[in-house]
Amino acid sequence: MEKKELIGLSKDELTKEIEAIGEKPFRAKQLWQWLYFRGETDFAKMSNLSKNLREKLAQYFTVSRPKIVAEQISSDKTHKWLLEFADGQRIETVYIPEEDRGAVCISTQVGCAVGCKFCHTGSQKITRNLTAGEIVSQFMVARDAYGEWPSPTNETRFLSNIVVMGMGEPLHNPENTFKALKILSDGDGIAISKRKITLSTSGIVPQIPKVATELGCKLAISLHAPNNEKRSQIMPINNRYPIEEILTACQEYQRNMSPGRYVTFEYLMLKDFNDSLDDAKELVALMKKFKLGAKFNLIPFNPWPGCDYTPSTNNKVHAFSRYLESFGYEAPIRVARGQDILAACGQLKSKKSDQ
Ligand code: SAH
Ligand code: SF4
């Protein structure tokens, strides 16, 4: 009999499994704490369970982590893992530390079907969705590495935030992504608050309101252009879900969140394509038309071999940012991190598979 993997089961599912082996439901609670509060992977060490039960669990179940195939830490401490799952498929996870906190950037698919022209993951096509367990375990690998499971001597937490901005389109895999984020935010386990989780999407309109109603985490939209004509050139998905529909879905998201919860619009700065002040003006008009409480995040483009685009100049990026700020929008410029280890979307994986 093949043993069943426990990581990625919802609380209800875990309870059912425990009942199926003839145990009382409260054992599932204890087990949940071992898995997600303590990060324990060895049943033998689950000391408040009887020896008998520990042996029984080991007989039916596994608690595993993906295999770490490669790992790099950049000069700015950005930490990147290339992870391999049981079927040999690989994805990457990145930890981006700040002074007193940090975000773990997790992937939701192997490849991506959206095919944005500027994105290396998009050029790799889609292989498969990740399971909820595979999504959750990326964060667990990072916690293992930094020894951040609770212990009497461990109070600080640097791995404080989660950004769903790795490989893949999370809203093309909503069921597993939502399930994973529910596990990661569960108060009896890893307990990352939903305010510290950001889901980024290229704009899969029918799923956007669910980010509020099913999850309640932050939402980031990869907008990258101020009108449909330009956006469709770099993001073919825009033909299916144009800007107006995305912004209408964002309004619905906002209605379902507490006031002041702004949507973040990510905007990749591409030289002579979308970086003029006319573009910025159009962007402001768009936000006003839809009356959206919005923040921008200006992203320096990370070029990769074979890509047609070039990063905007620093001057242009700053002018663009100042223009948006003059209308009261926050518009920070994202600092490129982990440059020396190719920490941008999809690049470590591609380098390895070329070898
Ligand atoms: N599929 C989702 C989330 C993963 S991509 C989405 O598109 O939102 C995460 C972010 O990385 C997106 O904003 C994406 O546009 C950006 N990105 C993709 N390729 C990039 C590149 N070459 N340089 C900089 N940012 C890039
Ligand atoms: Fe997919 Fe996001 Fe890359 Fe577009 S930017 S191809 S949606 S991962």
Annotate 235-289 with DSSP letters as a single string: -GGGGTS-HHHHHHHHHHHHHTS-TT-PEEEEEEEBTTTT-SHHHHHHHHHHHHH
Q: Pick the residue whose CA is nearest to atom 7 on ligand 1.
A: 202
Residue type for 225, please? A
**Ligand that lies nearest to the alpha carbon of residue 342, given by its number in the listed order:** 1
Would the CB of 198 count as within 6 Å of ligand 1? no
Question: For the whole model, what pTM was predicted?
Answer: 0.95
Q: What is the mean pLDDT of residues 305-312?
A: 92
By annotation, the residues acting in catalysis are 92, 345
Q: Which atom of ligand 2 is nearest to the CA of 121?
A: 3
**For residue 1, what pLDDT is reported?**
78
Residue 349 scores a pLDDT above 70: no
C-alpha 279 to ligand 2 mean position (Å): 22
Residue type for 40, please? E
Q: Pick the residue whose CA is nearest to atom 15 on ligand 1.
A: 222
**For residue 355, what pLDDT is reported?**
35
> What DSSP designation does 134 have?
H
Closest to 264 measured CA to CA, from 332, 314, 213:
332
Q: What is the mean pLDDT of the chain?
A: 93
Q: Which atom of ligand 2 is nearest to the CA of 109?
A: 8
Per the DSSP assignment, residues forming a β-bridge with 337 are none
262 touches 331 (CB < 8 A): no
Q: What is the mean pLDDT of residues 143-158?
A: 79
**For residue 299, what pLDDT is reported?**
95
pLDDT digits (tens, 9 = 90+) for 73-127: 999 999 999 999 999 999 999 999 988 899 999 999 999 999 999 998 878 889 9
Closest to 149 measured CA to CA, from 259, 250, 39, 236:
39
Would the CB of 78 count as within 6 Å of ligand 2? no
Cβ neighbours around 1 below 10 Å, total: 5
pLDDT digits (tens, 9 = 90+) for 262-299: 999 999 999 999 999 999 999 999 999 999 989 999 99
d(CA 134, CA 177): 10
**Ligand that lies nearest to the alpha carbon of residue 305, given by its number in the listed order:** 1
C-alpha 42 to ligand 1 mean position (Å): 37
Would the CB of 287 count as within 6 Å of ligand 2? no
d(CA 94, CA 164): 11
332 touches 298 (CB < 8 A): yes
Quick one: pLDDT band at residue 345, thresholds 50, 70, 90? low
pLDDT digits (tens, 9 = 90+) for 321-330: 999 999 999 9
Would the CB of 302 count as within 6 Å of ligand 1? yes
d(CA 129, CA 177): 9
Would the CB of 132 count as within 6 Å of ligand 2? no
Q: Pick the residue whose CA is nearest to atom 4 on ligand 2.
A: 116
Task: Give the up-direction half-sphere exposure of residue 282: CA atoms within 13 A in the CB hemisphere.
Answer: 16
Would the CB of 234 count as within 6 Å of ligand 1? no
Q: Domains of the chain by range and CATH?
A: 4-62 (1.10.150.530), 67-341 (3.20.20.70)
Q: Which atom of ligand 1 is nearest to the CA of 304?
A: 22
Tokens (6 digits) for 329: 């929008």
pLDDT digits (tens, 9 = 90+) for 234-246: 999 999 999 999 9
Would the CB of 93 count as within 6 Å of ligand 2? no
Q: Pick the residue whose CA is nearest to atom 17 on ligand 1.
A: 119
Would the CB of 114 count as within 6 Å of ligand 2? yes
**Ligand that lies nearest to the alpha carbon of residue 164, given by its number in the listed order:** 1
Instruction: Output 151-157 pairs: Cβ under 8 A, ≥24 positions apart.
Output: 157/101
